[in-house]
A = this chain, B = another copy of it.
Amino acid sequence: MIVCDIGNTNIKFKQKNNIFILSYDEPMPKFDEKIYYISVNKRGEDILNKHFKNTQNLSHKITFHTKYNSIGIDRAVCCKYIKDGIVVDAGSAVTVDMMKNHSHIGGFILPGLKMYKNIYNNISTNLSKEINFDISLETLPLNTADAVSYGAMMATISPILTIANNQDIFVTGGDGKIVSKYIKNSFYSKDLILNNLEKIAKRFVC
């Protein structure tokens, strides 16, 4: 059994303990098994189905309790097995969702960390600096490079901590490791979506 998560920039596969992350332009791996997938990107889904004959979209098999209107299927899968707490998926966007007693209460969307260099550059060339993802948030910056790095990290971390208000915080996504480093006692899981997807697929198949 292979599971696959099609995002806006990458297609991710999990086969047993192996994870494959490919951009849309890279050649697909060779798989003989059936691929159970979710997708938030039509182009990616088309690429998958062009390369593999034995695929199944799991989206409509997934139950998820929320009043959120058209939540991304990746967010639903990410949150599915969390009883209580905040779920953060830090990718090209950072989604922040709240679960209470196995129900999804709502959530919001922040710009992804890797976007900030471009964001500041578009405002002014004076602010065109590399973002330092190790910047300390303990002391206030004393130069522009630190001021934009501090701004990018605070714009991401502060909203999460504010709504978490001491609830558990679960973090995943390409930049999840960076985010979790700034949130003491957060629970970082590298491949939360693929792991959950595998759990869902196994239950569905059995």
Q: Which chain A residues have a beta carbon within 8 Å of chain B's beta carbons?
A: 8, 40, 66-70, 72, 92-93, 95-96, 98, 105-112, 115-116, 118-120, 122-124, 126-127, 139-144, 146-148, 150-151, 154-156, 158-159, 161-163
Q: Could you tell me the distance between the alpha carbons of A189 and B51 in the complex, rounded to whole angstroms?
A: 60
Chain B positions within 8 Å of A70 at CB level: 143-144
Residue pair B140, A127 in contact (C-beta under 8 Å) = no
Distance (whole angstroms) from the CB of A120 to the closest CB of chain B: 7
Chain B positions within 8 Å of A150 at CB level: 108-109
**Contact A124 B155, CB 8 Å, known A69-B142, A106-B140, A142-B69:** no
Q: Could you tell me the distance between the alpha carbons of A148 and B112 in the complex, rounded to whole angstroms?
A: 12
This chain's copy number in the assembly: 2
Of B68, B93, B107, B162, the residue contacting A127 (CB under 8 A) is: B93
In the complex formed, the residue of B with least CB distance to A75 is: B147
Chain B positions within 8 Å of A116 at CB level: 111
Chain B positions within 8 Å of A161 at CB level: 158, 162
Residue pair A162, B163 in contact (C-beta under 8 Å) = no
4 further A-B pairs in the complex, CB-CB below 8 A; given A108-B140, A110-B151, A155-B155: A93-B127, A109-B120, A109-B147, A111-B155
29 contacts between A and B (CB under 8 A): A8-B123, A40-B126, A67-B142, A68-B143, A69-B142, A69-B144, A92-B123, A95-B147, A96-B151, A105-B140, A106-B139, A107-B141, A107-B147, A108-B140, A108-B147, A108-B151, A109-B120, A109-B144, A110-B151, A111-B116, A111-B123, A115-B119, A119-B119, A154-B158, A154-B159, A154-B163, A155-B159, A158-B158, A158-B161
